[in-house]
Amino acid sequence: MHGQAGAESIFRQFFRTYAMIEAGALSKSFGSVRALKDITFSAADGRITGLLGPNGAGKSTTLRILYTVLRPDTGRASVDGHDVVSDSLAARRSIGVLPHGAGLYPHLTARENITYYGRMHGIGNSALGRRVDELIALLDIGEFADRRAKGFSQGQRTKVALARALVHQPRNLLLDEPTNGLDVMATRALREMILRLRDTGICILFSSHVMQEVAALCDDIVIVGHGRVVAAGKPDEIRRQTGKSTLEEAFVAAIGTEEGLE
Amino acid sequence: MKSRIGTVFRKEVLDNFRDRRSLMSALFFGPLFGPFLFAIMISFALDKHVSEVDEPLQLPVSGADNAPNLIAFLERSNTEIVKIEADLDSARIKVRDGEHDLALIIPAGFGENFSAGQPAVVRLVSDSANNNTAKDVRRARALLDAYQRRMGMLRLQARGLNPTTVMPVIVEDVDVSTPTGRSVILLGMMTYFVIFSMLMGGLYLAIDTTAGERERGSLEPLLTLPVPRSDLIIGKILATCVYMITSLAVTLLAFSVSLQFVPLEELGMTANFGPSVVIRIFLLMLPFALLGAALMTCVASFTKSYKEAQTYLTVVMLVPTLPILFAAIRTVKPDLSYMMVPSLSQHLIITDLMKAEPIPLAYPLVSMGSTLLLGLLLTALAARLYKREGILG
């Protein structure tokens, strides 16, 4: 019994040490608006880390810095040890990204949308064909794989965008409010997919303003409010930090509002 | 790492090819608009020109019986007399209301005054504000002047004087324009049609790859790919070039077909537009594709939406007309320094090509070189713009 707990702690230690996504004291301003003041957290391999916070707290800005389309004013961030500013190409190679709103090319089919990203990652033709077929089966895209993306439902678009993000088998997956605009069935399917991906050992970081979703899905939670990390850790650690008995109360205590509760 | 320019290029070409609306405008409306308008305009000019010479002048005359000699002179000079009954006031109204284009009124006392050697008055009623009748008025006026001169000379001779005494100065018109030279006034507009259709050909792609991609939300994931942004923008600009060049080819083809159906020779024009000239124009215009594509991409990069990009680019499409307009107003002669100015240099060279005039080899070389250089600079600028964070909007 004792040995198992020790192994568990060593295991966690390992992941803490080799955290795959790290953000240290990030700050970012847009004009006079200070979107991020001090964001520090890490996300480990084989775990789902949820970035939780009300709208405008800085979740998207944090993710955008991590997937290298924004540069932080101060602070550093890295993915698999690659600095997102000084070594952004290597960082980008290690991540798959599902940004806010799927953003497919309407004149290309689902398959072509996925294939295009595969080519951009430099995957050779035969390997790419196999990989795209796998993803189409895995994400249940088959039915609309060869239709143009123009008329896709939000759920279909999200599936294709997720397949596109996974085409190069990234070790890290970043998802910005992935369940936004999805119906109940599509949300369920996406959650199951995220859990299965976690079990393959990759690092998943996703943002949400819905506390219940984060509570149901995440191994680790980072609560963000007004551009700062206000609490972080496993759900029971957060309850302990805030001195509340439920995660919901902890969230309210941490943020100072009831926004984000449904 | 291998460049991904080719991957981006192929995807953009395919993507745009599947967009029926933009394809129609790029390869159909844009390129065919010019030649079509051109053919119509030339036919119209031809019509006017021919009618001026051959068709008899329709001249409403009131009181024709008062001056049989004058009427006979007019009829000999290819004029069809239409007899009307009108005094000055009613003729005025009829001309103003457009019932007649013009009217000649010969008063009852004309013959009497004429025989008495007094000035005999005729009245030519016309509406100088009406451009359509100006030509007829000019002809009638010229005929009446001719008649008056002839009568004056006869009278001088009858009195034993040499008619040249009253002609201290004789003005002779010397028109130096060759038949080909004349046609250039019209054909000079061709450069603009060619440039216009090229820009039209690349317009949608230039917008779609920048403002459009941002508006659809596909730009953000694209920028998370391990591909330098310069590769993205170069691939996009090259794809835009391909559509512009295709558009150029369609336009030139359409011109060479449409000009065959227009009987330019009847206008006293010859258009030098054989296959070798077409090919030379095509080659000369090639560097302009890069310049136009990069320029449009730069402008579209600044805009926040598809609509805004469209608005700005419509203005940009007018920019290349300015040097052509300048050349038309100032009658610019080809000169090596002008060859540094894109659009002006192409215009001057194309005009000379069609006039079949000799062109120093340096001209097209400098023109192509300077256009290409500016295109490359703008491509570099577009790449810089793409590296800004603001590109995400």
Quick one: B347 and B314 in the same domain? yes
For chain A, list the domains and their CATH numbers: 2-94+171-255 (3.40.50.300), 102-169 (no CATH)
Distance from CA of B309 to the nearest CA of A (A): 19
Quick one: B231 and B264 in the same domain? yes
Banded pLDDT at B2 (limits 50, 70, 90): low
Which pLDDT score is estimated for B109? 86
Give chain A positions within 8 Å (CB) of B217.
Answer: 99-103
Quick one: B292 and B312 in the same domain? yes
Tens of pLDDT along A150-190?
999 988 999 999 999 999 999 999 999 998 888 888 888 89
Quick one: B74 and B212 in the same domain? no
Asked if the structure places residue B51 within a domain, the reply is no
Predicted confidence (pLDDT) at residue A3 exceeds the cutoff of 70 = no
Instruction: Give me chain B's average pLDDT, please.
Output: 84
Quick one: B28 and B80 in the same domain? no
Tens of pLDDT along B196-245?
889 989 998 999 888 889 888 899 999 999 999 999 999 999 999 999 99
Asked if the structure places residue B387 within a domain, the reply is yes
Look at A161 and B224 and tell me if their CB atoms are within 8 Å: no
Q: Mean of the pLDDT values across residues B60-81?
A: 88
Last-in-domain residue among B150, B174, B198:
B174
Tens of pLDDT along A218-248?
999 999 988 999 888 888 888 888 777 777 8
Look at B14 and A108 and tell me if their CB atoms are within 8 Å: yes
Of the candidates A188, A203, A123, A193, the residue with the CA atom closest to the CA atom of residue A161: A193
Among all residues of chain B, which has the CA nearest to that of A165? Answer: B221
Look at B224 and A69 and tell me if their CB atoms are within 8 Å: yes
* A148 in contact with B, Cβ within 8 Å: yes
Give chain B positions within 8 Å (CB) of A119.
Answer: 4, 7
Quick one: B260 and B370 in the same domain? yes
Look at A69 and B227 and tell me if their CB atoms are within 8 Å: no
Please name the member of A71, A92, A104 whose beta carbon is closest to the beta carbon of B224: A92
In whole angstroms, give the CA distance from residue B58 to residue B61: 10
Quick one: B39 and B75 in the same domain? no
Tell me the CATH number at B107.
Answer: 3.40.1710
CB atoms within 10 A of CB B286: 16
Look at B7 and A108 and tell me if their CB atoms are within 8 Å: no
Which pLDDT score is estimated for A163? 94
Report the domain count for chain B: 2
Distance from CA of B245 to the nearest CA of A (A): 22
Please name the member of A67, A69, A116 whose beta carbon is closest to the beta carbon of B11: A116
Banded pLDDT at A17 (limits 50, 70, 90): very low
Look at A122 and B2 and tell me if their CB atoms are within 8 Å: yes
Quick one: B32 and B79 in the same domain? no
A101 vs A50: which has the higher pLDDT: A50
Last-in-domain residue among B131, B149, B174:
B174
A14 vs B298: which has the higher pLDDT: B298
Please name the member of A71, A93, A99 whose beta carbon is closest to the beta carbon of B221: A99
Q: What is the 3-state secondary structure (H, E, C) of chain A?
A: CHHHHHHHHHHHHHHHHCCCEEEEEEEEEECCEEEEEEEEEEECCCCEEEEECCCCCCHHHHHHHHCCCCCCCEEEEEECCEECCCCHHHHHHCEEEECCCCCCCCCCEHHHHHHHHHHHCCCCHHHHHHHHHHHHHHCCCHHHCCCEHHHCCHHHHHHHHHHHHHCCCCCEEEEECCCCCCCHHHHHHHHHHHHHHHHCCCEEEEEECCHHHHHHHCCEEEEEECCEEEEEECHHHHHHHHCCCCHHHHHHHHHCCCCCCC
In whole angstroms, give the CA distance from residue B321 to residue A132: 49
Burial class (CB in 10 A: 0-12, 13-18, 19+), A181: middle
Among all residues of chain A, which has the CA nearest to that of B389? Answer: A70
Last-in-domain residue among B174, B189, B211:
B174
Domain residues for B152?
A: 56-174
Banded pLDDT at B284 (limits 50, 70, 90): very high
CB atoms within 10 A of CB A222: 27
* A15 in contact with B, Cβ within 8 Å: no
Quick one: B40 and B64 in the same domain? no
Banded pLDDT at A15 (limits 50, 70, 90): very low
Asked if the structure places residue B102 within a domain, the reply is yes
Among A195-204, A240-249, B361-370, where is mean pLDDT lowest?
A240-249
Please name the member of B220, B226, B392 whose beta carbon is closest to the beta carbon of A89: B226
